[in-house]
Every structure is written in structure tokens, then in C-alpha cells.
Structure 1
Amino acid sequence: MFGGLSGLTTPPGSGTDFGERMLNTVASQSIRHLFTQSESVEVAVRCFPSSKLLQGSIDSFKMSGRGLIIRKDFWVEEMSFETDAVSIDFGSILGGKIRLKQSTQAVAQVTLTEDGINQAFQSELVQKRLQNLTMPELTNLSGGEPVSFREVQLQLLPDNQVKILAKTDLPNCDAVPVSMTATLDVERRRRILFQNSQFEPEAVDESLRAISEILTKAFAQVLNEMVDLDRFNLDGVMMRINRLETQGKKLIFSGYAQIDRFPGNG
């Protein structure tokens, strides 16, 4: 059971306590299990004096990760969180696990890239919410047949704006383009909304603009029902958003995480 703790060494002059290094190692291994893949995951535990660790008291716990993949398809450029004081079962560390005595909250930040967001639109989970849709607003266009949206491409713009292109097929017209701009916003700290959506006719052939505008409005409704963080919660970790911001080709979320347990620890 100590196999995962092998290789622990103290860098010369670091003064790092063995208990803290052991906790760092166990925590890093546990957190990596949250992700399908990770480029790097780093953990730092602050505990002063270090003897408090024997009573299970930690001043703060910080995690930072890069190149993370969640549920096989959702790419996260960077994720970090830092807790306040944490109470743990010290004995669980000796068994290569971490058990919290009580839930704790952490300040969190998540960075997504434009490419990562577009890859997410191709995931099975998202595709299911874009296909075979029956919408009253589209009955006249589709003849009552289900409608599916495909080839979604999102572009991040300044001031939390996005431009989105997509295509859909109708019974008598294939590959009808959808073109819109919208403002990203947060509802109840967990849902991402595409507010103030506007049809962008310049990207659509004039003969299809009337149809495309109706499809675009329907597509905006679909998007507003789709991105709910509760569908993407990590094992034992619930994320909430206080604010979001577009910065170049990146979308940055700031908020908090409620950590109920470490993955694989029950």
C-alpha cells in the first residue's frame, strides 16, 4: 500500500517535512484520477507548524494542472484551486489515500481554449444534445421531422462575445448554415448562457437567410439549455462559477469548488 509513495526525496535545503511530502504525493495521485489524461498536476500543502498534520489540520491545499482531459472529450488548458484550512484523517495518508473529515471549499479557476471548446462540441455527450431535436419553432421548416445541428464552430471574441457557425439539414434543403453572435453569461453559478443572440446574415447565402434566421434562433435556445456544470462535475468535486471572461483565444472561469471527498476514497 506504500508503493505509490516510493521515490520521495527531500531536495537539499528545502526543509520540507516528510509528512507534507507524503501528503503531496498521495494528493497528486488522487487528483490525477479525476482526469482521463493530464499533462501535469502539481499539489502544494501548507501546514505550519508541520506537527499539526498529525492532528489532521492543514492550513491550505493548492492544486494546479495543465493539459487536462475530463471524461475523455473535454479539454481543459489549465485548472487550479486553493482551499482554506482543511481537516483530514491523517491515518488515511499512510494507506495511500486521503479522507476529508468534512467538506471544504476552494477558490477555483479554469481556462479553456477555443480549440478545446470546439473539440468538446464533437464529443458524444454534446452531440446527443444537438441531434434529433423536435422543436415547435421548426415544425413548418422540417415538416415535423427531428432536426440536428452539426459542424459547430465557436470563435471567442472580446468582451465575452462569441461567434458561432453550424449547419443543419432540412427535408428539402441540405447544409443550411446557422450563423450567430452572442454574449456569454452565467446563471445560478452553474449554467452558461448565450445571451442577446443575433443572427449574422453576412455568412449566409441571401436565398437561405430567412430560413437560416429561424434556425439560428432555435439553435440559440438549444445552446442555452446545454451547458450546465452539474453534468460535468468531477468525482467528489462540485464546481461553481462567479464570473467568466474571454481573453484572446481563451475563456477563463473564476469561481469556487466544493470538495466533498478525494477521488477513489469514498
Structure 2
Amino acid sequence: MELLTIFLSSLIGLVSPIGIVSDRVAESTLRKQFVSVEALQVRIDNAPTYQLLQGRIDRLRLSGRGLVPRKDIRIDRLELETDPIALQGLRLKLAKPLQAGIRIILKEEDINRALRSPAIAAQLQTMVRRNERYSFLNPQISFLERDPLKLGRANRIRVQALLSEKGYPDQLAIVAEAEPKIIAGRTLQLQNLYVTANGQPAPAPVIQALTETIANRFDLRQLEKSGITARILQFSLQPAQLELSTFVQFRPPSKK
């Protein structure tokens, strides 16, 4: 979500009274937020000139493909559409919250590449109870079809990784399968979670602890202290990709 905050902040800059109102220049400016871009289109629905001079536009729409915000992190598709945007004064201060609908498609292969990146590996490490004795190696995710009659829709995920302990050569092959579900549009819950270590089922207390850790870690309410309200409107798994539609409201922190 840090990337989302930076991206939304750049949108505010496009609307400032001394900022950018041209589709082409806006597109060029947004491209600079990414390491690389395969395709990007920006459309600004202009309000009357006097409103533009006040830092207001009716709507901003964006469509992108193959967006790489950081090395080894790729977004296959990104679509964004805002409500009217309005600023007050010459500083980049919102007169009202910025609201947007966002649709994201992530490919399974891109998710696995990201899991191997140093940034994501560091975050995974914090999920091992911040214990430096243990490390996750070679994590991999797969989207599984339970029933071939479901016409290609996946409803389970499998996560595999090796767990190593500092000072010991042996490694545990961890395999976890679950049905992901979004609760109240804001929390990821892993239903029917099943975990094995070297082929042996994990104890029930371990399953419960892992379920609670995931739910707490992926709770969008944590963003509210940063001025972001987010809700997941759609969560869809296919055998090779994940699709996510969200509503986001962005409120920059007030300056005292």
C-alpha cells in the first residue's frame, strides 16, 4: 500500500493549480513513477477552465499494462477511475477526500517473481514471529482448481516454501492450501487451511495461529491511520491470475 500512497499523491499533483492538465503530459509524469511500463493511457475529463485554475477536474481515468513499480514487482493490468478531484489553495491539499475505484490483475508468475524479491522476502521474514532463527526459502504460490466443472475458476491457493533454522542444515518443506475469502471487504481469511511439514499435518494450534496471523496482517483497517480507507469489492481467482477490484479513499495527513 505504500506504492498506492505514492501513486495517489502523484495524482493530486496533476490537478494542482500550477500542475498538469494535459492527458499526454499527465501520462508522461505518471510513467516516471514506474521502473518500466508496457502500456499506459491517461484520460482527464476537464472541467471548465476556471475550475482547472482552482485545481479541480471532473474525473481522471487510467489504464495500464505491464507496470513495474519496483524491480521484480509487476502489475499485469491496472485500471483506475476517480471521482471529482478538488484542491484548495496553491498547496497540494485536498478540499475533500480523493476517491477512486481500482481494478488490478496479477499473474501467478509475476506474484512468484515478487515473492523471490528482497523486499517481499523481508516482509515474509517478519511473519515468522520476527524470529531471526528461521527463514523462508523459495516461496511459491499456485492457484488451484478444485472442480473442473467450474469452467476454469480457481478457488484454492497453495503456498510452498522451505523453512530453515539458523545453525541447522535440515530444512522443512512447508505446503499450505486454503480457500481465501474476503470478510466485510477488508480482511483476508484463509478457510479450510491445511498445512503439512515434510508431508506431516501441522497441529491444530499451529493452523489457528497462522490463520489469525494472516487475518491480522491483511486487514485493510490498518491503513486508516495513514489516511487511507480501502474496501475490496471483488476478489477473483483464475488458474493463472488474481483479479482485485477495490474502492479507495485517500486523505493526506493534516499539517499542524
- TM-based fold match above 0.5: yes
Matches within 5 A, 1:59-74: 59-74=58-73
Larger Rg: 1
Which residue of 2 is the match for residue 166 of structure 1? 161
Corresponding letter in the other structure for 2:249: Q
RMSD (CA atoms): 4.0
1:198 aligns to 2:194 (yes or no): yes
Is 2:143–2:155's contact at 8 Å kept on the other side of the alignment? yes
Is 1:75–1:116's contact at 8 Å kept on the other side of the alignment? yes
Whole-Å separation in 2 of the counterparts to 1:110 and 1:160 = 18
Whole-Å separation in 1 of the counterparts to 2:79 and 2:233 = 15
1:10-34 Cα distance to aligned partner (Å, 9 max, x none): xxxxxxxxxxx95213322332233
Whole-Å separation in 2 of the counterparts to 1:225 and 1:147 = 21
Which residue of 2 is the match for residue 213 of structure 1? 202
Cα 1:159/1:49, change in 2 over 3 Å: same
Higher RCO (C-alpha under 8 Å, 6+ residues apart): 1
Whole-Å separation in 1 of the counterparts to 2:231 and 2:27 = 22
Matches within 5 A, 1:47-58: 47=46, 53-54=52-53, 56-58=55-57
Instruction: Find the residue that maps to 2:134 and give its secondary structure.
Output: coil
Whole-Å separation in 2 of the counterparts to 1:238 and 1:44 = 24
Query: C-alpha displacement at 1:214, in angstroms?
Result: 5.1
Q: TM-score, normalised by structure 1?
A: 0.64
Corresponding letter in the other structure for 2:115: F
Corresponding letter in the other structure for 2:119: L
Identity among equivalent positions (%) equals 26
1:128-179 Cα distance to aligned partner (Å, 9 max, x none): 23338458xxxxxxxx982222111100134442011111125666232111
1:82-132 Cα distance to aligned partner (Å, 9 max, x none): 11222257989xxxxx87554320111111110111112112222123338
Is 1:81–1:257's contact at 8 Å kept on the other side of the alignment? no
Q: How many residues align?
A: 220
Whole-Å separation in 1 of the counterparts to 2:251 and 2:189 = 27
Query: C-alpha displacement at 1:199, in angstroms?
Result: 2.8
Corresponding letter in the other structure for 1:243: Q
Corresponding letter in the other structure for 1:251: L
* Structure 1 residues not aligned, in runs of 5+: 1-20, 93-97, 136-143, 262-266
Instruction: Find the residue that maps to 2:71 and give its secondary structure.
Output: coil
1:127 aligns to 2:116 (yes or no): no
Is 2:21–2:44's contact at 8 Å kept on the other side of the alignment? no
Whole-Å separation in 2 of the counterparts to 1:148 and 1:254 = 32
Is 2:40–2:65's contact at 8 Å kept on the other side of the alignment? yes
Matches within 5 A, 1:176-255: 176-186=172-182, 189=185, 191-199=187-195, 208-210=198-200, 213=202, 217=207, 223-224=214-215, 226-227=217-218, 240-255=231-246
